Amino acid sequence: MRTFRFIEGFMPLQFLLELVGIVLLFTGVAALLERVSCPINRFFKAVLVFVTFVLYLTYRVYPPMPFSILATYITVGLLAVLLWASSSDAYWQEFKQPILAVVDAETLHTRVLRSVLVILIPCLAGWVTWHSMLTKIEEPVELRTVIPAPPNTFTAFGKRFVTHEVQNPFRVNEHGKYDQRFTDALSVEEGGAGLMKPSANPWASNATAYLMSVREGGALYFQNCAFCHGANLSGRGHENFAFNPYATNFVQLRTILYVEEGHEFWRTAGGGTVLPTEGFPWASVMPPMEEHLTADEIWKILLFKSWFTGGDPAWVYEWR
């Protein structure tokens, strides 16, 4: 058991280690071929490495990553290959030699190849365009749950938590005790476009400890979360449209705010990396916020989101 736990701690490095292993394998094969006087041109080496990289990301990585992340990795891989191919004048001359030979078409083989490419490339571009615009109705890779159930226990900030027992330490009344009804009474009107209730202003000089935590959570939200989740928490931040799927709309009903507090803490601290299988193939690109914030800061952000939207955690509906 200890051995398996030791290996499990290095699982996030598996992706990088496998890619490094593939590159080392290709390097060894290329060196062996050069020793037997059968070298491979640098252009074909680059094509082989890049195609292998794309196939690895597409078929080896599971569950499938969002297209926006896949495109980012492929672009970075292409740039890395081109940088390697142009790292010296000799490398660059060797890399572009087959391309120039086909363009010049001074031999029978290169003329035939150039003619084939002149016909094949426009046909391939047309097929890709037609296929991308074709309306398709496809079932997901697996059955998917929009809000997947959290584990019974989870680890965050080096501690073990029981999901259904976790409570927000800043959801307290005037006496400093955890009080669900007190904090719900001070949240904005649900669906009321941020209309505050009487004596529920977090920026007032006489704000309670709960409302002061809401104020601090709001400042943290706009420093770390508003870029994707939006200034009004509706999932319309200016960086949101670069991702697929979009960031969560907290104003909409049945989002993460309408689950248990342990669930939302688990989801926020772990980001998209903790989603179980039923959360795919539409994964989340949210980073694990435990790498950027403290536990108290996450709790205050969750408190602000609950106060701002009027969307309290699941326990509110139990006593209502």
Which is higher by pLDDT, 253 or 238? 238
Q: Is residue 113 part of a domain?
A: no
CA distance 112 to 130: 27
**Do 79 and 214 sit in the same domain of this protein?**
no
Amino acid at 218: G
186 plus 288 within the same structural domain: yes
- Per-residue pLDDT band for 194 (boundaries 50, 70, 90) equals low
- Owning domain of residue 289: 153-319
Task: Give SS3 for 154.
Answer: strand
Q: Which comes out higher in pLDDT, residue 30 or 148?
A: 30
- Number of domain units in the chain: 2
Q: What are the pLDDT digits (tens) for 135-149?
A: 776 655 555 566 777
pLDDT of amino acid 193:
53
What is the band of 189 on the pLDDT scale with cuts at 50, 70, 90? confident
Do 179 and 261 sit in the same domain of this protein? yes
Tokens of 312: 């309290």
Which segment of 22-26, 60-64, 162-166, 222-226 scores lowest on mean pLDDT? 60-64
Distance CA 33, CA 174 (A): 76
One domain for residues 43 and 172: no
pLDDT at 118 over 50: yes
Domain boundary among 81, 104, 127: 104
Mean pLDDT of the chain: 82
Tell me: pLDDT of 4 over 50.
no
Kindly tell me the sign of the dihedral angle through the C-alpha atoms of 8, 14, 15, 16: positive
pLDDT of 315: 46
pLDDT level of residue 282 (50, 70, 90 thresholds):
low
List the CATH number of the domain containing 186. Answer: 1.10.760.10
Position 138 scores a pLDDT of 64
Sign of CA dihedral 41, 43, 45, 47: negative
Q: Say if residue 281 is preceded by a cis peptide, omega within 30 of 0.
A: yes
Local structure of 162: helix, strand or coil: strand
Q: Are residues 303 and 159 in the same domain?
A: yes
DSSP character string of 283-306:
------GGGTS-HHHHHHHHHHHH
Asked if residue 168 and residue 76 are part of one domain, the reply reads no
Q: Could you tell me the pTM of the whole model?
A: 0.57
Q: Which whole number is the average pLDDT over 213-218?
A: 94
- Give the three-state DSSP class for 279: helix
123 compared with 200, residue with greater pLDDT: 123
Determine contact, residues 68/243, Cβ cutoff 8 Å: yes
Locate 96 and state its tokens.
């572009």
Q: How much is the average pLDDT of 90-105?
A: 90
d(CA 185, CA 200): 9
Quick one: 170 and 310 in the same domain? yes
Three-state DSSP class for residue 25: helix
Residue 146 belongs to a domain: no
Burial category of 101 from C-beta neighbours within 10 Å (exposed 0-12, middle 13-18, buried 19 and up): middle
Does a structural domain hold residue 61? yes
- DSSP string covering 168-204: -TT-B-TTSSB-HHHHHHHSPPTTSTTPPPTT--TTS
Domain identity same for 271 and 189: yes
Same domain for 170 and 99? no
Rounded to an integer, the average pLDDT of 98-116 is 90
Residue found under tokens 């914030």: 293
Residue at a domain's end among 87, 104, 121: 104
Residue 96 lies in a domain: yes
Find where tokens 């996030």 sit: 12
pLDDT exceeds cutoff 90 at 298:
yes
Does 148 reside within a domain? no
